[in-house]
Amino acid sequence: MSRPPASSAHTPDRTRPRLDLRWVLAALQVFTLVPVLLFALWLLYQQWTFGQNEMKRELQQSARSLAVSVQRELNASVRQLERISEGPTLQQGSLEEFHGYMQKLSSELREWDNMVLIDQGVPVLNSAVPFGAPLPPLDDIDFEQILQSGKPFITGIYTHRLTGQPGVAVVVPVKRPSGSQQQLLMARLSTPPLANLLQEPLRDVDIVSSVVDTEGLIVSRNRYFEKLFGQPATTTYQETIATAPSGFGRARTLEGHYALSAWHRLDNGWTVGVGAHSDAHDAQLAQSLGRTAGIGLVLLAASLLIALWVAQRMGRSIESAAAHARAMADEQAVPRGHADIAQIDELLQAHFEASQRLQALRQEHTSALDRLNDALRRRDDFLSMLAHELRNPLAPIFTAVAILQRSTTLSEQERKVVGIVGNQSRQLKRLVDDLLDASRLVTGRITLQPRPTRLDTLVRETADALHDVAAEKQQRLRLRLPEAPVELEADPERVSQILHNLLDNALKFGSPGGEVRLRLVADGETAQVSVEDEGIGIDPARLQDLFKPFSQIDPGMARSNGGLGLGLSTSRTLAEMHGGTLTAESAGLGKGTTLRLTLPLRKAGPTA
């Protein structure tokens, strides 16, 4: 063949749009770094959100614990005053004798300013006034209503007429042996015995704890108590705690900071609140996000400069290679290749020219190359089919379930159905993961992610997930759960995997028309889940074979039901990793099998 003219051979096709390699690499850097930067910012936000949730949980727990302590302290004051009202000094002694007793108590109990005995709405005795002297008028308290109720009463903050100071009062009816209730005994507390109670469990300088009455006035506080006693809480805090008897919200403190607050209402309408300043946490988030964004922008700018420099050098190299390839060209011709990148397009032009001379060698290797390509294609087709068969059917199911679970228009029944679909999809994925789990367990590469877990919830979810399987096998699934929650410190995904394996095994080898009983009990420091079927049973001498990898007690039935014989082996290992046990019991062939899973209960943390 004759060599084409040099002008036609070396003239690139300029009709197609081409991209400069420098801008391609720069765009690649942007498309690579920007998602990484966004992901880093998202991780920071997720970490901050997790911290907020942990703070919410701790504050709610502290508020509940503190409310119990405050209620106990108030009840103690009521009981103490009731004992005085029921004592012989008042019931049998003279008024002068009881007046002296009242003065003695007022001097001994520092938080009690004075005591007043009231008879039919009229003051009879006042420990702050000498016996027989004129008594000051009663404070503005509805004593008539207290007398009619016949129950002790704790007032909110009010101003004492005698001293002009704020305080609270405890009022109890005086019950005579005759059964009449015409008298009331009142103890006025200028400083409720709650300040130390709020100080002790909350040492953190960022924590604010307080007790407010039904009018929003401060009864006790761990900060500036002497200054703020009897003063109103902030409007935002009062509005927040008015929404519910207990809860969590964000409000401004009297120091001017915003705080995340948890509160709990007491029996007498007072509210105990515990809050943590959120300004520092918000500022920390903003600082972290700003620092990450700044570093990301600096890295992006640096990577763009490096990309442009590398692209310039690559362009020169590619153009040089193209020039060398043209020198090798001969008179042979092959189809012209094209590329969108200018420098690569030049290289393809050079290859086009050089390939004309190599045509003979290419033909010699065509047959071997075809066979190789066929083998590679078959391999790629197999891998593609395998990935499609194992992953593609599950991906849209998971996506659809996630979308439906976020929907606000589904009924409760529809949500339950969507949950069951999600559970079934996860069970299908576990079949693919069985061999991987077995390998990881042997090599010790499985690590648990323990956290507070409701075992009763996992048992119910497992029963719901396999309910349809039981129906298909014409078996009755009986579920028995305790009324109280059963909490573990465990990896919920691995515990759910154990439960699924146990119940699935019972359904596989149970008898059609029979019953499978799933029961959860909590006893002492452990919880026990038992799965009992009425199926083929097993020789007691072979019970331990159930937990050997790839063990098939009845290979024919195992093959018909599917499975690799790894479920119970994997489950026992996971149970032991949780500090528990998994055992099997059977009375013999044809008498069913019982699998028992025992796990340690979650230990209660120290009370604040």
Residues 341-388: pLDDT tens digits?
566 666 666 666 666 666 666 566 677 778 877 764 564 444 334 444
d(CA 254, CA 28) in angstroms, rounded, equals: 53
* Spatial contact of 198 and 218, defined as CB atoms under 8 Å apart: no
d(CA 501, CA 384) in angstroms, rounded, equals: 30
Pick the range with the lowest mean pLDDT from 30-39, 253-262, 322-331.
322-331
For 510, the token pair is: 């149970």
d(CA 113, CA 129) in angstroms, rounded, equals: 12
Q: Token pair 């359904």 is at which residue?
A: 507
pLDDT for position 574: 92
For 456, the token pair is: 């009763």
d(CA 292, CA 45) in angstroms, rounded, equals: 11
pLDDT for position 454: 95
d(CA 412, CA 399) in angstroms, rounded, equals: 20
DSSP label at 341? B
Cross-sheet strand order for the sheet of 476-480: 476-480, 515-523, 526-532, 594-600, 581-585
Top-confidence range, 241-255, 306-320, 392-406: 241-255
CATH code for 430-600? 3.30.565.10
Q: Which sign does the torsion angle of CA 281, 283, 286, 288 carry? A: negative
d(CA 576, CA 224) in angstroms, rounded, equals: 53
pLDDT for position 550: 65
d(CA 573, CA 259) in angstroms, rounded, equals: 46
**Element of type H or E holding 37:** helix 21-86
Top-confidence residue, 444 or 238: 238
Residue 120, phi-psi category: left (phi > 0), alpha (psi -120 to 50), beta (remainder): left
Whether pLDDT at 123 is above 70: yes
Chain segment 570-605, per-residue pLDDT in tens: 889 999 999 999 999 988 888 889 999 999 998 865
d(CA 434, CA 569) in angstroms, rounded, equals: 11
* Spatial contact of 221 and 280, defined as CB atoms under 8 Å apart: no
* Spatial contact of 482 and 520, defined as CB atoms under 8 Å apart: yes
d(CA 459, CA 503) in angstroms, rounded, equals: 10
The number of CA neighbours under 13 Å toward the Cβ of 109 is 22
pLDDT for position 601: 93
* Spatial contact of 308 and 22, defined as CB atoms under 8 Å apart: yes
* Spatial contact of 500 and 430, defined as CB atoms under 8 Å apart: yes
CB atoms within 10 A of CB 280: 11
Whether pLDDT at 56 is above 70: yes
Pick the range with the lowest mean pLDDT from 121-130, 322-331, 416-425.
322-331
- Partners of 467 in the β-ladder: none
Whether pLDDT at 523 is above 80: yes
Domain boundaries along the sequence of the chain: 87-189, 430-600
Top-confidence range, 190-194, 209-213, 256-260, 362-366: 209-213
- Partners of 453 in the β-ladder: 488
Return mean pLDDT, the chain.
77
Top-confidence residue, 83 or 431: 83
Whether pLDDT at 73 is above 70: yes
For 124, the token pair is: 């009879």
* CB-based contacts of 238, cutoff 8 Å, min separation 6: 212, 216, 232
pLDDT for position 535: 84
Chain segment 151-200, per-residue pLDDT in tens: 899 888 888 777 778 888 899 998 877 766 778 999 888 666 665 666 55
pLDDT for position 383: 36
Chain segment 496-516, per-residue pLDDT in tens: 999 999 998 888 888 888 899
DSSP 357-422: TTHHHHHHTHHHHHHHHHHHHHHHHHHHHHHHHHHTTHHHHHHHHHHHHH-SS--HHHHHHHHHHH
* CB-based contacts of 378, cutoff 8 Å, min separation 6: none
Helix, strand or coil, per DSSP, at residue 160 = coil
For 567, the token pair is: 């479920």
pLDDT for position 494: 93
Strand positions, DSSP E, 213-301: 218-221, 246-252, 258-265, 271-277
Top-confidence range, 4-13, 140-149, 366-375: 140-149
CB atoms within 10 A of CB 459: 25
Top-confidence range, 344-353, 421-430, 515-524: 515-524
d(CA 598, CA 580) in angstroms, rounded, equals: 5
Top-confidence residue, 343 or 412: 412
Top-confidence residue, 28 or 355: 28
pLDDT for position 516: 92
Residue of 482, 432, 473, 416 whose CA lies nearest to 454? 482
Confidence of residue 456 (pLDDT cuts 50, 70, 90): very high
Confidence of residue 57 (pLDDT cuts 50, 70, 90): confident
d(CA 521, CA 456) in angstroms, rounded, equals: 9
Top-confidence range, 54-68, 316-330, 410-424, 577-591: 577-591
d(CA 21, CA 185) in angstroms, rounded, equals: 94
Q: Token pair 């005995």 is at which residue?
A: 117
CB atoms within 10 A of CB 243: 9
Residue 561, phi-psi category: left (phi > 0), alpha (psi -120 to 50), beta (remainder): alpha
pLDDT, mean of residues 393-406: 80
CATH topology of domain 87-189: Beta-Lactamase (3.30.450)
Amino acid letter for position 490: A
pLDDT, mean of residues 210-221: 88
**Maximum Cα interatomic distance, the chain, rounded to a whole number of Å:** 140
Top-confidence residue, 34 or 22: 34
For 608, the token pair is: 């604040």
> What are the φ and ψ backbone dihedral angles of 218, each rounded to 5 degrees?
-75, 120
For 412, the token pair is: 């409760």
* CB-based contacts of 131, cutoff 8 Å, min separation 6: 95, 96, 99, 100, 125
Amino acid letter for position 97: E
Q: How many helices (H) and strands (E) does the chain have?
A: 19, 18
Exposed / middle / buried, residue 227 (Cβ in 10 Å: 0-12, 13-18, 19+): exposed
Top-confidence range, 32-41, 288-297, 585-594, 598-607: 585-594
d(CA 152, CA 479) in angstroms, rounded, equals: 47
Give CA separation, 576 vs 2, 437, 490, 512, 599, in Å. 80, 15, 12, 32, 9
